[in-house]
Structure 1
Protein backbone atom coordinates (compact mmCIF):
# COMPACT_ATOMS: atom_id res chain seq x y z
CA UNK A 1 0.00 0.00 0.00
CA UNK A 2 1.19 3.54 -0.61
CA UNK A 3 1.92 6.21 1.94
CA UNK A 4 -1.42 7.91 1.36
CA UNK A 5 -4.33 8.43 3.68
CA UNK A 6 -6.40 6.33 1.28
CA UNK A 7 -6.62 3.29 3.57
CA UNK A 8 -9.56 1.09 4.47
CA UNK A 9 -11.21 1.97 7.77
CA UNK A 10 -11.96 -0.54 10.54
CA UNK A 11 -15.30 0.61 11.95
CA UNK A 12 -16.02 -1.83 14.82
CA UNK A 13 -14.10 -3.48 17.62
CA UNK A 14 -15.31 -6.85 16.28
CA UNK A 15 -13.78 -6.08 12.87
CA UNK A 16 -10.44 -5.13 14.44
CA UNK A 17 -10.54 -8.22 16.66
CA UNK A 18 -11.05 -10.39 13.57
CA UNK A 19 -8.06 -8.70 11.91
CA UNK A 20 -5.86 -9.35 14.95
CA UNK A 21 -6.98 -12.99 15.17
CA UNK A 22 -6.25 -13.56 11.49
CA UNK A 23 -2.87 -11.80 11.21
CA UNK A 24 0.55 -11.69 12.79
CA UNK A 25 2.90 -8.78 13.27
CA UNK A 26 0.28 -6.04 13.55
CA UNK A 27 0.97 -2.78 15.35
CA UNK A 28 -1.12 0.27 16.15
CA UNK A 29 0.36 3.73 15.74
CA UNK A 30 -1.18 7.00 16.88
CA UNK A 31 -0.12 9.77 14.51
CA UNK A 32 -1.25 11.98 11.65
CA UNK A 33 -0.93 8.97 9.36
CA UNK A 34 1.26 7.16 6.86
CA UNK A 35 1.46 10.11 4.45
CA UNK A 36 3.26 12.09 7.17
CA UNK A 37 5.21 9.21 8.76
CA UNK A 38 6.54 7.21 5.84
CA UNK A 39 8.74 9.76 4.07
CA UNK A 40 11.03 9.68 7.16
CA UNK A 41 10.46 6.44 9.08
CA UNK A 42 11.63 7.63 12.47
CA UNK A 43 10.13 8.86 15.71
CA UNK A 44 11.38 11.40 18.20
CA UNK A 45 11.72 10.85 21.92
CA UNK A 46 9.48 13.57 23.37
CA UNK A 47 11.62 13.98 26.48
CA UNK A 48 15.09 14.31 24.92
CA UNK A 49 14.36 15.16 21.27
CA UNK A 50 16.53 12.22 20.13
CA UNK A 51 15.55 10.72 16.77
CA UNK A 52 14.82 7.00 16.96
CA UNK A 53 15.27 4.42 14.17
CA UNK A 54 11.68 3.53 13.34
CA UNK A 55 8.09 4.45 14.02
CA UNK A 56 6.98 4.15 17.61
CA UNK A 57 4.07 1.70 17.68
CA UNK A 58 2.39 -0.78 19.96
CA UNK A 59 1.95 -4.46 19.14
CA UNK A 60 -1.58 -5.78 18.69
CA UNK A 61 -0.57 -9.45 18.72
CA UNK A 62 -1.62 -11.60 21.65
CA UNK A 63 0.98 -12.47 24.26
CA UNK A 64 1.14 -16.07 25.56
CA UNK A 65 0.47 -14.93 29.12
CA UNK A 66 -2.98 -13.67 27.99
CA UNK A 67 -3.85 -17.38 27.74
CA UNK A 68 -7.50 -18.04 26.83
CA UNK A 69 -8.86 -14.62 27.74
CA UNK A 70 -11.00 -12.91 25.08
CA UNK A 71 -9.12 -11.45 22.10
CA UNK A 72 -11.69 -8.65 22.02
CA UNK A 73 -10.66 -7.55 25.52
CA UNK A 74 -6.97 -7.72 24.56
CA UNK A 75 -7.57 -5.46 21.55
CA UNK A 76 -9.70 -3.11 23.65
CA UNK A 77 -6.91 -2.86 26.22
CA UNK A 78 -4.29 -2.10 23.57
CA UNK A 79 -6.42 0.79 22.28
CA UNK A 80 -7.61 2.04 25.65
CA UNK A 81 -4.08 2.42 27.02
CA UNK A 82 -3.18 5.08 24.46
CA UNK A 83 -6.55 6.70 23.77
CA UNK A 84 -5.25 9.90 25.39
CA UNK A 85 -2.77 10.55 22.56
CA UNK A 86 -5.09 12.43 20.15
CA UNK A 87 -5.82 14.95 22.91
CA UNK A 88 -2.19 15.17 23.96
CA UNK A 89 -0.55 15.24 20.51
CA UNK A 90 -3.07 17.55 18.83
CA UNK A 91 -5.41 17.71 15.86
CA UNK A 92 -5.22 15.02 13.22
CA UNK A 93 -3.67 12.35 15.45
CA UNK A 94 -5.56 9.07 15.12
CA UNK A 95 -4.81 5.35 15.31
CA UNK A 96 -3.86 3.21 12.31
CA UNK A 97 -2.74 -0.37 11.90
CA UNK A 98 0.53 -1.36 10.25
CA UNK A 99 2.87 -4.25 9.76
CA UNK A 100 6.64 -4.02 9.71
CA UNK A 101 9.91 -5.11 11.20
CA UNK A 102 10.84 -4.29 14.77
CA UNK A 103 14.22 -2.53 14.48
CA UNK A 104 14.75 -1.37 18.06
CA UNK A 105 12.96 -0.36 21.25
CA UNK A 106 12.10 3.16 22.36
CA UNK A 107 12.59 4.67 25.84
CA UNK A 108 9.24 3.28 27.02
CA UNK A 109 10.21 -0.15 25.65
CA UNK A 110 7.85 0.32 22.71
CA UNK A 111 8.75 -1.26 19.38
CA UNK A 112 10.33 0.99 16.78
CA UNK A 113 9.10 -0.35 13.45
CA UNK A 114 10.69 -0.12 9.99
CA UNK A 115 9.65 -1.61 6.63
CA UNK A 116 6.21 -0.22 7.43
CA UNK A 117 3.18 -1.32 5.47
CA UNK A 118 -0.03 0.55 6.38
CA UNK A 119 -3.10 -1.68 6.71
CA UNK A 120 -6.03 0.47 7.86
CA UNK A 121 -7.28 3.39 9.90
CA UNK A 122 -9.16 2.74 13.15
CA UNK A 123 -12.42 4.67 13.38
CA UNK A 124 -13.22 6.72 16.52
CA UNK A 125 -16.19 4.40 17.12
CA UNK A 126 -13.75 1.53 17.70
CA UNK A 127 -12.01 3.53 20.43
CA UNK A 128 -15.38 4.24 22.05
CA UNK A 129 -16.24 0.52 21.93
CA UNK A 130 -12.84 -0.32 23.44
CA UNK A 131 -13.41 2.10 26.31
CA UNK A 132 -16.88 0.64 26.90
CA UNK A 133 -15.41 -2.89 26.91
CA UNK A 134 -12.87 -1.87 29.53
CA UNK A 135 -15.51 -0.14 31.65
CA UNK A 136 -17.57 -3.37 31.72
CA UNK A 137 -14.78 -5.27 33.46
CA UNK A 138 -15.11 -6.10 37.15
CA UNK A 139 -12.04 -4.00 37.98
CA UNK A 140 -11.74 -1.46 35.14
CA UNK A 141 -8.46 0.35 34.73
CA UNK A 142 -7.59 3.87 33.70
CA UNK A 143 -5.63 4.95 30.64
CA UNK A 144 -1.87 4.54 30.61
CA UNK A 145 -1.44 8.31 31.09
CA UNK A 146 -2.81 8.90 34.54
CA UNK A 147 -3.43 12.29 36.10
CA UNK A 148 -1.47 13.37 39.12
CA UNK A 149 1.94 12.43 37.83
Structure 2
Protein backbone atom coordinates (compact mmCIF):
# COMPACT_ATOMS: atom_id res chain seq x y z
CA UNK A 1 0.00 0.00 0.00
CA UNK A 2 2.47 2.71 1.16
CA UNK A 3 5.82 0.96 0.87
CA UNK A 4 6.83 3.37 -1.92
CA UNK A 5 7.07 6.30 0.49
CA UNK A 6 9.99 8.63 -0.05
CA UNK A 7 12.65 8.85 2.65
CA UNK A 8 13.79 12.01 4.41
CA UNK A 9 17.51 11.41 4.84
CA UNK A 10 18.58 14.43 6.91
CA UNK A 11 17.31 16.57 9.74
CA UNK A 12 17.14 19.47 7.26
CA UNK A 13 14.85 17.39 5.03
CA UNK A 14 12.42 16.92 7.92
CA UNK A 15 12.67 20.59 8.98
CA UNK A 16 11.94 21.68 5.39
CA UNK A 17 8.69 19.66 5.45
CA UNK A 18 7.73 21.27 8.77
CA UNK A 19 8.29 24.72 7.25
CA UNK A 20 6.15 23.83 4.20
CA UNK A 21 3.16 22.05 5.75
CA UNK A 22 0.98 22.10 8.85
CA UNK A 23 -0.54 19.27 10.88
CA UNK A 24 2.57 17.12 10.61
CA UNK A 25 3.30 14.31 13.02
CA UNK A 26 5.94 11.68 13.53
CA UNK A 27 4.85 8.17 14.41
CA UNK A 28 7.19 5.43 15.56
CA UNK A 29 5.77 2.10 14.44
CA UNK A 30 6.05 -0.75 11.93
CA UNK A 31 4.79 1.70 9.31
CA UNK A 32 1.71 3.07 7.62
CA UNK A 33 0.64 -0.21 6.01
CA UNK A 34 0.29 -1.92 9.37
CA UNK A 35 -1.08 1.15 11.15
CA UNK A 36 -3.75 1.97 8.58
CA UNK A 37 -4.83 -1.67 8.38
CA UNK A 38 -5.28 -1.79 12.18
CA UNK A 39 -6.77 1.71 12.22
CA UNK A 40 -5.97 2.87 15.75
CA UNK A 41 -3.56 2.59 18.63
CA UNK A 42 -4.24 0.81 21.93
CA UNK A 43 -3.46 1.88 25.44
CA UNK A 44 -0.50 -0.34 26.33
CA UNK A 45 -1.52 -0.59 29.99
CA UNK A 46 -5.21 -1.49 29.60
CA UNK A 47 -5.50 -2.65 25.99
CA UNK A 48 -8.33 -0.17 25.39
CA UNK A 49 -8.56 0.86 21.72
CA UNK A 50 -7.95 4.58 21.13
CA UNK A 51 -9.89 6.72 18.63
CA UNK A 52 -6.81 7.32 16.44
CA UNK A 53 -3.13 6.65 16.00
CA UNK A 54 -0.80 7.98 18.67
CA UNK A 55 1.76 10.35 17.19
CA UNK A 56 3.81 13.39 18.12
CA UNK A 57 3.26 16.78 16.59
CA UNK A 58 6.08 18.41 14.66
CA UNK A 59 4.24 21.72 14.21
CA UNK A 60 6.23 24.57 15.72
CA UNK A 61 4.51 26.10 18.75
CA UNK A 62 4.16 29.92 18.95
CA UNK A 63 6.23 30.07 22.16
CA UNK A 64 9.24 28.80 20.19
CA UNK A 65 9.16 32.22 18.49
CA UNK A 66 11.97 32.80 15.97
CA UNK A 67 14.24 30.01 17.18
CA UNK A 68 15.49 27.61 14.49
CA UNK A 69 12.93 25.14 13.14
CA UNK A 70 15.78 22.66 12.72
CA UNK A 71 16.40 22.59 16.49
CA UNK A 72 12.64 22.32 17.18
CA UNK A 73 12.42 19.29 14.91
CA UNK A 74 15.57 17.80 16.42
CA UNK A 75 14.01 18.06 19.87
CA UNK A 76 10.76 16.46 18.75
CA UNK A 77 12.62 13.55 17.13
CA UNK A 78 15.01 13.20 20.07
CA UNK A 79 12.18 12.94 22.58
CA UNK A 80 11.02 9.58 21.24
CA UNK A 81 14.13 8.08 19.63
CA UNK A 82 14.12 5.39 22.36
CA UNK A 83 10.95 3.79 20.99
CA UNK A 84 12.61 1.36 18.54
CA UNK A 85 14.60 -0.13 21.44
CA UNK A 86 11.50 -0.25 23.64
CA UNK A 87 9.00 -1.54 21.06
CA UNK A 88 11.17 -3.93 19.07
CA UNK A 89 12.48 -4.82 15.66
CA UNK A 90 10.98 -3.02 12.70
CA UNK A 91 9.78 0.04 14.60
CA UNK A 92 10.90 3.21 12.85
CA UNK A 93 9.75 6.80 12.43
CA UNK A 94 7.58 8.06 9.62
CA UNK A 95 6.11 11.44 8.80
CA UNK A 96 2.39 11.87 8.40
CA UNK A 97 -0.23 14.53 8.06
CA UNK A 98 -3.44 14.11 10.00
CA UNK A 99 -6.25 15.59 12.06
CA UNK A 100 -6.00 15.47 15.83
CA UNK A 101 -9.03 13.74 17.35
CA UNK A 102 -8.06 13.46 21.00
CA UNK A 103 -5.30 12.69 23.48
CA UNK A 104 -3.88 9.35 24.50
CA UNK A 105 -3.05 8.10 28.01
CA UNK A 106 0.35 9.86 27.93
CA UNK A 107 -1.26 13.07 26.67
CA UNK A 108 0.04 12.37 23.15
CA UNK A 109 -2.04 13.50 20.18
CA UNK A 110 -4.27 10.90 18.57
CA UNK A 111 -4.72 11.44 14.83
CA UNK A 112 -7.17 10.34 12.17
CA UNK A 113 -7.44 11.04 8.46
CA UNK A 114 -3.82 9.98 8.23
CA UNK A 115 -1.87 10.75 5.07
CA UNK A 116 1.55 9.00 5.12
CA UNK A 117 4.24 11.29 3.68
CA UNK A 118 7.70 9.81 4.20
CA UNK A 119 9.97 7.57 6.19
CA UNK A 120 12.53 9.32 8.40
CA UNK A 121 15.96 7.76 7.92
CA UNK A 122 18.11 6.63 10.85
CA UNK A 123 20.74 9.18 9.78
CA UNK A 124 18.22 12.00 10.37
CA UNK A 125 17.52 10.65 13.87
CA UNK A 126 21.25 10.36 14.62
CA UNK A 127 21.68 13.95 13.45
CA UNK A 128 18.81 15.10 15.69
CA UNK A 129 20.44 13.40 18.67
CA UNK A 130 23.77 15.12 17.97
CA UNK A 131 22.09 18.52 17.59
CA UNK A 132 20.34 18.21 20.95
CA UNK A 133 23.37 16.81 22.77
CA UNK A 134 25.49 19.73 21.47
CA UNK A 135 23.14 22.48 22.68
CA UNK A 136 24.81 24.93 25.08
CA UNK A 137 23.26 26.45 28.17
CA UNK A 138 20.47 25.12 30.33
CA UNK A 139 19.64 22.11 28.17
CA UNK A 140 19.82 19.12 30.41
CA UNK A 141 19.45 15.41 29.90
CA UNK A 142 15.91 14.24 29.33
CA UNK A 143 15.27 11.04 31.21
CA UNK A 144 13.20 8.72 29.02
CA UNK A 145 12.20 5.16 29.72
CA UNK A 146 14.51 2.84 27.84
CA UNK A 147 17.15 5.42 26.93
CA UNK A 148 20.75 4.66 27.85
TM range (shorter): over 0.9
1:93 alignment counterpart: 91
Q: Which runs of 5+ in 1 are unaligned?
A: none
Deviations 1:66-116 (A, max 9, x none): 111111000000000000000000000000000111111101111111111
Alignment partners' CA distance in 2, 1:76 and 1:21: 14
Residue 48 of structure 1, CA deviation? 1.4
TM-score (norm 1): 0.93
2:132 alignment counterpart: 134
Residue correspondences, number: 146
TM-score (norm 2): 0.93
Task: Output aligned runs, 1:116-131, within 5 Å.
Answer: 116-131=114-129
Q: Which runs of 5+ in 2 are unaligned?
A: none
2:76 equivalent to 1:78: yes
Alignment partners' CA distance in 2, 1:140 and 1:117: 34
Flag as ranges the 4+ runs of structure 1 deviating above 2 A: 139-144
Calculate the aligned-residue CA RMSD, in Å.
Answer: 1.5
Q: For the structure 1 residues 112 and 144, does the alpha-carbon distance in structure 2 shift closer, same or farther, using more than 3 Å as the test?
A: farther
2:58 equivalent to 1:60: yes
